Amino acid sequence: MTVSPITVCVTGAAGQISYSLLSMLAAGNVFGPEQPVTLHLLEIPPALPALAGVVMELLDGAYPLLHSVTQTADPSIAFADADIAVLVGAFPRRAGMERKDLLQKNLPIFKRQAHALNEHASKHVKVVVVGNPANTNAMVLAAFAPDIPRANISALTRLDHNRTMAQVAARLDVPVQSVAGVCIWGNHSSTQYPDITRATVDNAPVFDKLGGFEIVARDFIPTIQKRGAEVIKARGFSSAMSAASAIADHLRSWVCGEDHIVSMAVPSDGSYGIKEGVFFSFPVRCMGDGVVEIVKGIEIDEFSKRYIDATAEELYAEREEALALLE
Ligand code: NAD
Ligand code: LMR
């Protein structure tokens, strides 16, 4: 049986993250070895020459599953009939920029792209927002793309989830695949809460082995919260290889399903007292075919509640700032 190609739009396609991501998409590492892929690549006009070089490399990769590639600076062409949209393109944070400045630069981009996505993408398009501030950009996108079901829009916190898995494994000197039960709550920012209170290794609880409340608060949580900044300090650029790998994981889980709990920023439905209207990272179950369920009924202890409340407050404030800037 011939499988029809899936159309994947990637914005910011000449940037660092996309440079790692595009070969994974073309090689079948995301949607499987039977699924051909059509790539629609969006860039701003000054980056089109660099994008042309990336496209040369994609063709030189001779990927059997790569059906066709379109490169453009026109969002209406890039989003046309997209089944999946990976929104990586964003204005980068420059030295001295406050979060509000970053919002001011990026909100108009996501508002414009929302209109184009709404008009031109498949009505079933699944969107993952990567460009920062990712949760609030996703909120803006949802607000200006009224025909796309909100459940089809998400923001990436899988990188934080993977960082948490990897840190548990490294600290206990166990294989990363033996770790389970971790999740990320809240914003993809330094207020995020990497929750390891229910972490297990080979099904055995390990919170006490990781030091218990005091050491986890002093060392483990800040390590994850500041990991992005540490990578920037070391590399001079933000994480790209690990971000691309996390996008691949996020999409694979979302589309193909996942047998363990992962983390995704999704529209809050009021679970755990998080107000509706923000995109909040929750522990989720990916049931396959794009169906995602927030894991309900977790008992939240006082320690975790303080962190969850703090990251929620940051997101509420970002939402207010974004709405004021958009007026
Ligand atoms: P980069 O600067 O290397 O690439 C971004 C690309 O986006 C550039 O090529 C730029 O020309 C393009 N671009 C800018 N505005 C655009 C627009 N309106 N339409 C289309 N393309 C546009 O940056 P990067 O390292 O690839 O990171 C991209 C974004 O991802 C940043 O905002 C970064 O902070 C964020 N990020 C998020 C996570 C996460 O886990 N959510 C992790 C790492 C990085
Ligand atoms: C990361 O988590 O690595 C990035 O979001 C950091 C950044 O500010 O780009």
Mutate to test the pocket of ligand 1, among 11, 17, 106, 242 (most ligand atoms within 8 A of CB): 17
Mutate to test the pocket of ligand 1, among 18, 97, 107, 238 (most ligand atoms within 8 A of CB): 238
* Owning domain of residue 259: 158-319
Query: If you measure from the C-alpha of residue 90 to the centroid of ligand 1, how many angstroms do you get, rounded to a whole number?
Result: 4
Question: Does the CA dihedral 163-168-173-176 come out positive or negative?
Answer: negative
Are 145 and 291 contained in the same domain?
Answer: no
Task: Give pTM, 2 decimals.
Answer: 0.98
In a domain, 327, yes or no: no
Q: What CATH number does the domain containing 43 carry?
A: 3.40.50.720
Residues 6+ apart with CB under 8 A from 1: none
Name the residue type at position 52.
Answer: A
- Indicate whether residue 263 lines ligand 1 (CB < 6 A): no
Closest ligand to Cα 129:
1
Are 90 and 232 contained in the same domain?
Answer: no
Is this prediction's ipTM beyond 0.90?
Answer: yes
pLDDT, one tens digit per residue, over 15-37 is: 999 999 999 999 999 999 999 99
Boundary (domain end) residue, out of 155, 187, 202: 155
Structural domains in the chain (count): 2
Boundary (domain end) residue, out of 99, 133, 155: 155
pLDDT of residue 101: 85
**Separation of CA 158 from chain center:** 6
d(CA 132, CA 102): 8
Residues 6+ apart with CB under 8 A from 219: 211
d(CA 247, CA 158): 7
Q: What is the DSSP letter of 44?
A: -
Are 127 and 217 contained in the same domain?
Answer: no
Low-confidence ranges of the chain (pLDDT < 50): none
Are 96 and 47 contained in the same domain?
Answer: yes
- Indicate whether residue 42 lines ligand 1 (CB < 6 A): yes
Are 176 and 84 contained in the same domain?
Answer: no
**Using CB atoms within 10 A of its CB, is residue 19 exposed (0-12), middle (13-18) or buried (19+)?**
middle
Boundary (domain end) residue, out of 123, 155, 187: 155
Are 254 and 298 contained in the same domain?
Answer: yes
Are 142 and 168 contained in the same domain?
Answer: no
pLDDT of residue 100: 80
Closest CA to 25 of 72, 86, 73, 80: 86
In a domain, 33, yes or no: yes
Query: If you measure from the C-alpha of residue 271 to the centroid of ligand 2, how many angstroms do you get, rounded to a whole number?
Result: 26
Please report the beta strands in the chain, taking only residues with DSSP state E, as ranges in sequence order.
Answer: 6-11, 37-42, 66-72, 84-87, 126-129, 153-155, 179-180, 183-185, 193-195, 200-201, 204-205, 262-267, 279-288, 291-294
Q: Are strands 153-155 and 37-42 parallel, antiparallel or unpaired?
A: unpaired
Are 145 and 177 contained in the same domain?
Answer: no
Residue 176's CB is within 10 A of a number of other CB atoms, namely 12
Are 96 and 167 contained in the same domain?
Answer: no
Q: Whose CA is nearest to atom 6 of ligand 2?
A: 228
Are 271 and 299 contained in the same domain?
Answer: yes
Are 142 and 276 contained in the same domain?
Answer: no
Known catalytic residues are 188
Are 119 and 251 contained in the same domain?
Answer: no
Q: What CATH number does the domain containing 234 carry?
A: 3.90.110.10
pLDDT, one tens digit per residue, over 161-196 is: 999 999 999 999 999 999 999 999 999 999 999 999
